[in-house]
Structures are given as structure tokens and as C-alpha cells.
Structure 1
Amino acid sequence: MSQLICPNCQAVFASSLGSQAAAAKLSKVLTCTECNAETHSTTTHSPGVVLNDEMVASCACHPYHLLEDGTLSPDTVAHAYAQGMSVTRLSKVESGEAHVMKFCAASFTGRGKGARGKKKAAGIAIVRTGDAREVFYDCGSQAFKVYDTASEAMDFHADIFATDFFGNSEELSLEDQAARLAAQMALIDRMELKLLPT
């Protein structure tokens, strides 16, 4: 296991993960002078930091994540601006992409209550961690961080978090909406969609 983040950042992660506003809360770790959460483990369950050459995957669901032409929509990465975009570190699960496909198909059936019940798995969106980290806002700041957010039950878990323009896009100024959308599209352009087998 790699070195843990500092106690202050540990407290920020502990109070943020699972919150609908986790991305905004986690922005506090961006200015830490003691550690860098991208190059340190955030939990004792971690198999190590998320390296730039790792591939990570998330679920892609109808009707939110796919456009009519079958490409990924900006909503694919919307969770990065709120609670975090959950991803699986493909090198940390024995069956790699098949593991994520199976999870998505079982979790998002298009039946049930609430927002999750309305989603039906279409496939998975895969991105190289370094590619996600190399998306920048026009002002020059890094748009996305990829953190190891392993738990005892899911040591393969990571999250992609935005570094600015948090919450609902509609509540932002038009200028901020444009900056956020440009970053979302840049990240989507680096992703590969793999559809569930039919």
C-alpha cells in the first residue's frame, strides 16, 4: 500500500464521500500542502494509488448517458460534479471489463423506484486515468481528479471528481456552464463506450 493522505485530508474524505455534494467538499484537499490525494491512498483498504496508465470504467445507462446517435452524453460524467463518478479500476478486478458489465447489468435494470430505477444499463464507459487527469479548464486548472476510494468490500473502487463548477449545471452562470460543458465533452472524447453483449 502507498502512503496515506494526511490526517486533515482523511477527515475531509471521511465527511465527504457518500454526500451529494462530495465533489465540492473535496475541493478542500486541492490546496493541501502536506499531501496530494492523487498520489496517496485515501483509505487503509487501498491496493495503491490510481496510476495514470490504469484503465477505469463506469456504467453507461439509458436514457441519461447516451445520445440518439449512440455516443456518450455530457450526463455520463455529471456525477463528477456532485457525489463523484464511481469507477472500477480494471486492473484490480480479476475479470476486468466483464466484472463491470455484470455489475451494471444487475444494478441498472430499468425497473424500480427513484432515479436508479429509471436507468437501464447500456454498457460501460472506459477511460485511461491519465487522460482524465489531463483535461483542463480554459483557465489552466486541472478539471478532474481521480482518487483511490477503496473500501473493505470494494478495494477496486475509485472516483473521478471535478475540481470546480459543482452541483446542478442549471444553477451556474452561463459562462460557468460553458466551461463545465467543455470539460465534460473533453473527458467524454477520451472515453470508449463498450455496449453490453446482446
Structure 2
Amino acid sequence: MTHAADRTGTKLNRRTALGGLGAAVALGGRQGYPALAEAGGDLATHPLAGTWAVMTDAGLVPQTHHADGSFIAAFPPNYVDPATGLTFQGAGLGQWERTGERSGRFTFLQVLADPAGAYAGTFQLSASIEASEDGRAWFSTDSPRIVVRDPGNTVVFDQVVPLGPPVTATRISATPDAFVMPEVRPAPATPVS
């Protein structure tokens, strides 16, 4: 067998292998998506689908629950962490799903960076929520689970964190006159020694 023939045979084998791998990935992806859609049902008509003004202990966080199950939350660009100091954070990106007629749960992941811009790990939050009967508001129904990972993806914190009053949200509408901001939550009291 000549070197040229050997090279041609190798290319054909690579093409076949890559084509087979591509087909497997494509079919695997197609099988996974309907299963996700079946588990969540039609999210476009679920009362949690849409864009929300969410009031948390840390302030306002706009977020969108998309009809395809994707989720995005727009946090302020930075915060002061009691352990690490000034921390910069990206948007919270994740997935949400229905758990009932008006209820759902979501998980999102944020990338964290230190003041010099170096990757500092990730923040992950999972929580359950329920829409009001009129679909204009929602509130948290349990304490969220928070997972923090360091830059090497080692889990450094993984706990269900009890919060004060429930997190609340109001639906953002297309016209400013129809939009009502959620009620501001009082800041947690600072202990006096």
C-alpha cells in the first residue's frame, strides 16, 4: 500500500467517523429536546413565562423565563462579598421548568471575577416559584439552594439558604403605565454589639 493510498483511506475513515459522530450528536440532541419539552409541557402558555422585575434582599434583578425553557437574570455588575470582597458577576443563565399549573423551578449559573478581572469561579442558584392567580406576579415558595465553585470548579459552598420574606416579582409589561414595580424589601438588620 502506498503512502498516498494510506492517506486517502485515513481521510475516508476520519470523515466516516466524524460524520457518524455528528449524526449521533444531532440525533441525541433531538431526542433530548422533546423529552425536556414533554416534561415541562408548553411553557409559552405557562403563567411564569415572560419578563419579570424581581425584588430580592440585594435589590432589583430583571429576569426572563423564555418559552423554550431558557432563563436569564440581569444582576448588578458587582457586589461586596463578606469573604472575598469586591466581586464582579455576569448574567445568570440557566433553565426553568413547570412543576404545576402556576408553579415552576429554575437553576441559573453566573461567572464570577475578582477586581483584576481574573476568573473567580461560579455562583449557582436553584429555587421554586409560583405565579399569582392573575399571572401578574410571582413569589418564591422555598429557600434557594446555592452552590459556589472556585476557579478549579471545586465546590466551596453548597447549602439551602433560608431567606427572610419571600422573593417577589411583577410582570414587566410593554407599556410603562401598566407596569407596577415590586415592593422594596427592607434591608436585613445589622446586629449591634
Q: Which TM-score bucket, shorter chain as reference?
A: under 0.3
More helix by share: 1
**Structure number with higher relative contact order (C-alpha < 8 Å, ≥ 6 residues apart):** 1
Higher Cα Rg: structure 1 or 2?
2
Q: TM-score, normalised by structure 1?
A: 0.25
More strand by share: 2
